[in-house]
Amino acid sequence: SNRTLISKGQRILLGRLEMKILLLLCVKAGRVVALDKIQLLIENEGARFSTRVFHHVSCLRRKLEAAGITSLQINFVKDGYRVDLA
């Protein structure tokens, strides 16, 4: 499946888990998605348990920031993450 975002003509390649996390957060935009729910998504995708939510979200944030995407912010909020759209 395609895991490419296009912003301002720039292609941003995301990993499988990065795309799934981004989609989950965007569907719930403005609401907190619990860390446990994101961790379950990661584990259900076959990732090793040692792979943590923080790692995947950090990589996703870096890619979005490097592409200059400022209208979508991934914020850590008590016990989870929330996407805020500007």
Q: State the Cα–Cα distance between residues 32 and 30, nearest whole angstrom.
A: 7
Q: State the Cα–Cα distance between residues 84 and 75, nearest whole angstrom.
A: 7
Q: State phi, psi for 57 to the nearest 5 degrees.
A: -65, -40
pLDDT at 7: 82
Q: Supply the pTM of this predicted model.
A: 0.87
pLDDT at 52: 82
pLDDT tens digits, residue range 9-68? Answer: 888 999 989 999 999 999 999 999 999 999 998 888 876 655 688 989 999 999 999 998
Higher-confidence residue of 47 and 78: namely: 78
Higher-confidence residue of 50 and 76: namely: 76
